[in-house]
Amino acid sequence: MTEAFGHRFGNPELLREALTHRSAGGGHNERLEFLGDALLNLFIAEALFERHPRADEGDLSRARAELVRESALAERARRLALGDHLRLGPGEMKTGGWRRDSILADGLEALVAAIYLDAGFEACRAVVLPWFEGGLAGPISGERLKDAKTRLQEWLQARRLTLPEYQLLATHGDEHDKTFVAICRLERPAHSAQGEGSSRRAAEQAAAEAVLEQLAANPGAASG
């Protein structure tokens, strides 16, 4: 596999290393993860700085933290189907490690570093920033930086609609490293979405964020 995730690798070994979890043995992705974390923070900081010239340091810092937090990176990894390509050891395969936020977020960071080492700074940035376009495009404000459950609740209250219902659907993994799956349901407008996270709260936040995205895609939803 030399072409994946929007980039054609001149050195396929970099991609292989990026997708190899430490549970699979030698040549794993932890060093790439270290570099990718730094690159992601720089790409996101630069993009926010350029796109929001009136935002102050506090707002920029909070927006960057929101975009690069573990659950946000894991969600972007899921959209890229990165988990389908990870190389995991038998134990992680058995416990569904490809679904776990921590493993997905680390894999995404490692992938960023692999693209950078393969093609350079500019090419890497061009591939990576579109993954975050939705988060970078919106305004930076205290309203945007509220957590997803709060924003969804306020959206519904402003329209005098019933508040959402959250339900824990499943948990996966070892006791010390679980992945939680939750669903958020709205009575009206009728929407529902699932989310995953390293805690029940994180899973509910991810589900609420997914419902908010559904509502944003359907502005007339409140009449549904």
Instruction: List pLDDT tens digits, range 63-110.
Output: 899 899 898 899 899 989 999 999 998 888 888 888 888 899 999 999
Q: Which domains does the chain have, with CATH numbers?
A: 3-137 (1.10.1520.10), 148-223 (3.30.160.20)
Spatial CB neighbours of 44, under 8 Å, sequence gap ≥ 6:
64, 67, 68, 132, 136
Segment 177-204, tens digit of pLDDT = 788 999 999 998 999 999 998 889 989 9
Q: Strand 191-197 and strand 3-4: pairing?
A: unpaired
The model's pTM: 0.66
Q: Which of 17, 106, 109, 209 is catalytic?
A: 109
CB 67 within 8 A of CB 132: yes
User: 37 an active-site residue?
Assistant: yes
Residue 152 to residue 188: CA distance in whole angstroms: 13
Residue 168 to residue 206: CA distance in whole angstroms: 12
Question: Given pLDDT bands bounded at 50, 70 and 90, which one contains residue 165?
Answer: very high
Predicted local distance difference test score (pLDDT) of residue 221: 57
Question: Given pLDDT bands bounded at 50, 70 and 90, which one contains residue 21?
Answer: very high
Q: Which of 33, 37, 101, 204 is catalytic?
A: 37
127-149 burial string, b = 16+ CB within 10 Å, else e?
A: bbeebbeebbeeebeeeeeeebb
Predicted local distance difference test score (pLDDT) of residue 145: 58
Nearest alpha carbon to residue 83 among 67, 102, 69, 65: 102
Segment 28-62, tens digit of pLDDT = 999 999 999 999 999 999 999 998 888 888 888 98
User: 84 an active-site residue?
Assistant: no
